[in-house]
């Protein structure tokens, strides 16, 4: 899919392109390619004179391969954007290409973004730029706004995790943690720990991308200040994620502690039952001996007496343990 975004009256307008002729009708500031076909790549190359590298979205984490400027003035930025999906949380690699120097090409002043799937941050920015005139003035504003929106998206995700952790805390601290509840809690904690790690990695990646843009000296004074504000927002998110990791570790330890308590209760019951059965075993062992002269063997009520002694010797310890509260 190939979408172009034009600026009119301070608002960002989207057009979906179906042919090279349609592409030539617009003067965009942003061209977004989602899973581009070879034909769409050819349109971009013919109209803008821009060749999109085949490895544009490779998972190469080296900074030299992710943030660089070519000899022809094309600025390349590869950054990850978070997708908060309950079933499959993940980061999507997006490649950006921006030409701010070469006047000979139609690509000058146009931001190109290439990615494999739709990104929530892109949708949020498109919606915001349509409703807020003056938010976007040029292609650099688009790129900075994407990073700013990504920071806000991470912040919203952190708030969602914190709200869910509060609900989990209520379950754990109630003291009524059964094995079923413990299993549910541990699963939720594991998911939140994984998402918190993804948020932290995403923020680190965004910080590197914004810092690189500030070093290129392409930003105006206002844009440079916007970039600094994005970095400050990311720094504040760091402290929130650190607090969340501490809370997650606390809930994990508390849940495991309750699991151990439940297991100890089961072991205690087995231990009490074993101790209660020792006196009856002693009685049965005594009358099971094969001595010749045992007076009780000739008694008419010897067998009922032995059974009564075994029952009594089992009941008395159980009553004692119950009074002491060891069976709870």
CA 214 to chain centre: 29
Whether 328 shows a pLDDT value over 60: the answer reads: yes
> In this predicted model, what pLDDT tens digit does every residue of 176-213 receive, in sequence order?
777 788 888 888 888 888 888 889 988 988 998 898 88
Whether 31 shows a pLDDT value over 80: the answer reads: yes
Span 267-284, average pLDDT? 78
| pTM beyond 0.85 | no
CA torsion 164-168-173-175 (nearest 10°) is: 160
Q: How far is CA 40 from CA 7, 113, 117, 146, in A?
A: 22, 13, 16, 23
Crossing angle for the helix pair 120-131 and 139-173, nearest 10 degrees? Answer: 120
Alpha-carbon gap, residue 241 to 225, rounded angstroms: 25
In three-state secondary structure terms, 82 is strand
Record the tokens describing residue 183, joined without a space. 């299993």
Report the chain's mean pLDDT, rounded to a whole number: 82
**In the structure, what pLDDT confidence band is assigned to residue 232 with cuts at 50, 70 and 90?**
very high
């Amino acid at each position: 899919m190939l979408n172009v975004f034009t600026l009119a009256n301070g608002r960002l307008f989207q057009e979906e392109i179906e042919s090279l002729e349609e592409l030539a009708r617009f003067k965009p500031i942003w061209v977004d390619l989602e899973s581009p076909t070879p034909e769409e790549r050819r349109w971009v190359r013919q109209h803008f004179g821009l060749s999109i590298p085949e490895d544009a979205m490779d998972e190469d984490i080296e900074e030299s391969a992710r943030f660089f400027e070519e000899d022809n003035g094309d600025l390349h930025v590869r950054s990850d954007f978070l997708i908060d999906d309950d079933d499959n949380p993940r980061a999507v690699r997006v490649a950006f290409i921006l030409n701010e120097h070469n006047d000979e090409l139609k690509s000058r002043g146009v931001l190109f973004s290439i990615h494999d799937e739709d990104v929530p941050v892109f949708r949020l920015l498109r919606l915001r730029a349509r409703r807020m005139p003056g938010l976007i003035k040029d292609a650099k504003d688009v790129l900075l706004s994407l990073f700013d929106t990504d920071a806000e998206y991470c912040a919203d995700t952190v708030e969602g995790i914190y709200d869910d952790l509060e609900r989990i805390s209520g379950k754990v601290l109630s003291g009524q943690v059964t094995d079923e509840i413990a299993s549910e809690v541990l699963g939720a904690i594991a998911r939140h720990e994984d998402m918190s790690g993804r948020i932290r990695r995403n923020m680190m990646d965004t910080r590197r991308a914004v810092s690189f843009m500030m070093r290129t000296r392409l930003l105006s004074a206002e844009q440079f200040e916007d970039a600094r504000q994005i970095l400050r927002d990311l720094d504040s998110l760091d402290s929130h994620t650190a607090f969340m990791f501490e809370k997650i570790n606390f809930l994990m330890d508390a849940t495991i502690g309750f699991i151990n308590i439940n297991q100890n209760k089961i072991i205690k019951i087995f231990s009490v039952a074993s101790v209660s059965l020792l006196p009856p075993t002693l009685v049965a062992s005594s009358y099971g001996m094969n001595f010749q002269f045992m007076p009780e063997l000739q008694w008419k009520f010897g067998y009922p007496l032995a059974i009564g002694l075994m029952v009594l010797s089992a009941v008395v310890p159980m009553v004692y343990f119950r009074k002491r509260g060891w069976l709870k």
